[in-house]
A and B are shown apart, each in its own frame.
Chain A
Amino acid sequence: MALDLHIAHPLRAFALDLELSVGEEALALVGPSGAGKSSVLRVIAGLLRPELGRVALYGETWLDTRAGVDVSPERRRVGLVFQEYALFPHLTVRGNVGFGGRGRVDELLERFRISGLAEARPAELSGGERQRVALARALARDPAVLLLDEPLSALDAFTRAQVRTELRELLRSLALPTVLVTHDFEDAAALSDLVGVLVDGHVLQTAPPSELVASPADAFVASFTGANLLRGIASEGPAGLTAVALDSGFTAYTVEESRGPVSVVVYPWEVSVARDAPDDSAVNHVRAPIASLVQLGNRVRVRIGPITAEVTAQSVERLGLREGDVVVASFKATGARLLPAS
């Protein structure tokens, strides 16, 4: 693999303990805030020395605490894009980009469409512009590894969607070993080839994003990918189905076999919303008032009782949905997966 690392390092509440191998691809580490994601990047960059650890790039050892090897940050070929970008406020855009390497400054300014801003200071830039400057600055050093710390979190929703698309194309075209960390699964899925879920310093599961959604290793991974998690007790149901008496009082039916305490996993995009219970193939119906409607781009997340459904903005308009309206959320028995209760 291009980048291999092993880290064991105590943090405040838990210990970071993980092993990763990254090829010439983008690996996203996702997890809640404070899971130790940024520390991983700081170890790779040489800004944090773990208690125990090894970092090697194409076989060249950057850090080996046992052997006493610790290459200083300026001698590791790393491009690190910080969460708030950490642009030098006293330097112009050109000064920032040229800080690490002067050779390709004009080419990079051109490539990231910031030539017109070359003489501006960071304080005068918008969030999206700052991000492009930070990327150009990191690449000016001709890095062998690219590290991105929450690359989209400092952006507003509008800029974010646009930058996400651009960043994905950039990462594809660079084909550098890349590690990015984010607390947002959607960002991770959009930007990377592999996603590792990091919780309390451990990687719970590493897989392509679609695989994480299809077969989450445990309830945490499932909820992290945006699924509904409904707790209940499973028992034998009619027609070979399993009936789950949910804690919220409803009963859900699934094709999967299980008995006892379980979590039912339902993805919001597998839940449909109607005014009345539809006469279709779905066997699970939850009738409840709408608790909230949250728009995400052209989609809307509708909270109905214990369930969140994701539908198009168009459907919400067509049905005239408002908070407080009593509606029916439906999903198929084949769309309800079971995980042992956590």
Chain B
Amino acid sequence: MVLVFFLLPVVAIFARVPIGSLLDQLSSDVVGDALRVTLKTNAVALVLIVLLGTPTAYLIATRSFPGRVVVLTLLELPLVLPPAVAGIGLLAAFGRLGLLGGTLQVFGLEVGLGTQAAVVLAIAFVAGPFYVRPAVAAFEAVDPTLLGAARTLGAGPGRTFFRVALPLAAGGLSAGAALSFARGLGEFGATIMFAGSLQGVTQTLSLAIYQEFDLNFDSALAISALLVLVSAALLLSVKLVAGWRSTYTSLIPFARSPSISS
């Protein structure tokens, strides 16, 4: 029953549009623009998330400092925040009249309604924790003895990070990145409030579904079908990475068993 309940809406999307018209619908301008905006903003957001999130996660995982639990909780806050609240919060902080709006404008960075920077910011805010949280867990899972071993072998903190911590956490990091990317692709609430829905600029696939829903239901269905496929592919890749990782790590615990093959 539960399975049917979860599957039926997904199946219904494909049942409603014949494959032929699906491709027709996807070749419209609205969809094309939305696809471009979605890929571009998500790619930029993902790069930002990974570049800033990885060192942050490493420091949180390997250092003990007062307030560590508070920091971890704050990082999780966007996970549970209602998207509309996230949108309002972003407006209040980075919008033209927001706390940092003026500061950003000094640097020539226009963030707010109708800018792609706003879309990127909304995605980074909502999807970032989906990367940082698993990244912290992945770095925590790296045996600290290995990091100590690297240090005694002459590697400074930087070399220890790149040669030991990063490769050993790579599986968890890529799984987190895929999850974060999937969450970013579907971002809706914060984006529509903070960046608006301007075709070709801020209108992502999710926003396009919402607009087409009134104008052309078949088109909305087609975009939905496209997003289902992308999400499923991402989920599958996460599972594959996780599976590969568990077979990889299951070999690692240094068995004390005597294999006297030497």
Instruction: Tell me if A88 and B260 are in contact (CB < 8 A).
Output: no
Query: Across the interface, which residues of A come within 8 angstroms of B145, CB to CB?
Result: 82, 84, 86
- A-binding segment of B57-65, B107-115, B150-158, B229-237: B150-158
Tell me if A72 and B151 are in contact (CB < 8 A): yes
**What A residues does B259 contact at CB under 8 A?**
126-127
Q: Residue of B at shortest CB range from A117? A: B262
Given contacts A84-B145, A90-B168, A126-B259, contact A141 B153 (CB under 8 A): yes
B99 to nearest A CB, angstroms? 40
Would you call B239 an interface residue if the criterion is a C-beta within 8 Å of the partner chain's C-beta atoms? no
| A78 neighbours in B (Cβ, 8 Å) | 152
| Interface residues contributed by chain A, number (CB under 8 Å) | 41
The answer to whether A73 touches B254 (Cβ under 8 A) is no
Instruction: Collect the chain B residues with CB atoms within 8 Å of residue A82's CB.
Output: 145, 148-149
Q: How many residues of B contact A (CB 8 A)?
A: 28
- Minimum C-beta distance from A120 to chain B (A): 11
Q: Nearest-CB distance from B146 to chain A (Å)?
A: 5
Please state if B156 and A72 are interface contacts (CB–CB under 8 Å): yes
A45 touches B152 (CB 8 A): yes
**CB <8 Å contact, A74 and B146:** no
B258 contacts A by Cβ under 8 Å: yes
Max chain B Cβ within 10 angstroms of own Cβ: one of A45, A46, A47, A101? A47
CA separation between A128 and B167, bound complex, in Å?
26
What mask results when residues 121 to 132 of chain A are scored 1 for a CB within 8 Å of chain B, else 0?
A: 111101111100
Instruction: Give the CA-CA distance A79 to B151 in the complex, in Å.
Output: 11
Q: Kindly supply a per-residue 1/0 record for chain A positions 76-120, scoring 1 wherever the CB is within 8 Å of any chain B CB and 0 otherwise.
A: 101110101111111000000001110000000000010000000
Most A Cβ at <10 Å: residue of B150, B151, B155, B256: B151
The proximity string for B residues 135-173 relative to A, scoring 1 for CB distances below 8 Å and 0 otherwise, is 000000001011011111111100000011001100000
Cα distance A79–B168 in the bound complex, in angstroms = 23
Let me know if A137 is at the binding interface, CB within 8 A. Answer: yes
Question: What chain B residues lie within 8 Å of A127 (beta carbons)?
Answer: 254-259
A156 at the binding interface (Cβ < 8 Å) = yes
Complex Cα distance, B218 from A46, in Å, reads 66
Interface residues of B in 209-262 (CB under 8 A from A): 249, 251-252, 254-262
User: Would you call A99 and B258 a contact (CB within 8 A)?
Assistant: no
Q: Which residues of B contact A99 (CB under 8 A)?
A: 150, 153, 155, 163
Q: Does A154 have its Cβ within 8 Å of any Cβ on chain B?
A: yes
**Cα–Cα distance between A138 and B153 once the two chains are bound (Å):** 7
Q: Which residues of B have CB within 8 Å of A121?
A: 251
Chain B 62-87, CB-CB to A under 8 Å as 1, else 0, gives 00000000000000000000000000
Return the contact of B260 from the options A86, A126, A141 (Cβ within 8 A). A126
Q: Is A158 an interface position by the 8 A CB rule?
A: yes
* Min distance, Cβ B145 to any Cβ of chain A, angstroms: 5
Quick check: A73 and B163 within 8 Å, CB to CB?
A: no
Which single member of A47, A123, A154 contacts B251 (CB below 8 Å)? Answer: A123
Cα-based distance from A130 to B252 in the complex (angstroms): 12
A33 interface residue, CB < 8 Å from B? no
A72 to chain B, nearest CB (A): 7
Which residues in B have their C-beta under 8 angstroms from that of A47? 148, 151-152
> Is B154 touching A101 in the complex (CB atoms < 8 A)?
yes
Name A129's closest neighbour in chain B (CB-CB).
Answer: B262
A159 on interface, CB distance cutoff 8 Å: yes
Interface string of B182-217 (1 = CB under 8 A from A): 000000000000000000000000000000000000
Say whether A74 contacts B155, CB under 8 Å: yes
**Contact, CB under 8 Å: A88 / B152:** no
> Hey, which chain A residues are within 8 Å of B254, CB to CB?
84-85, 87, 122, 127, 130, 154
In the bound complex, residues from chain A placing their C-beta under 8 Å from that of B262 are 113, 126, 128-129
Collect the chain A residues with CB atoms within 8 Å of residue B252's CB: 89, 122-123
Contact B156 A74, beta carbon cutoff 8 Å: yes
Query: Which residue numbers of B lie inside 8 Å of A, CB to CB?
Result: 143, 145-146, 148-156, 163-164, 167-168, 249, 251-252, 254-262
Q: Can you list 11 pairs linking A and B with CB atoms under 8 Å apart?
A: A42-B148, A45-B148, A73-B151, A74-B153, A82-B145, A87-B254, A99-B155, A99-B163, A126-B259, A128-B260, A158-B260
Residues of A within 8 A of B (CB): 42, 45-47, 72-74, 76, 78-80, 82, 84-90, 99-101, 113, 121-124, 126-130, 137-138, 140-141, 154-156, 158-159
Closest 3 CB pairs of A and B: A100-B153, A123-B251, A156-B258
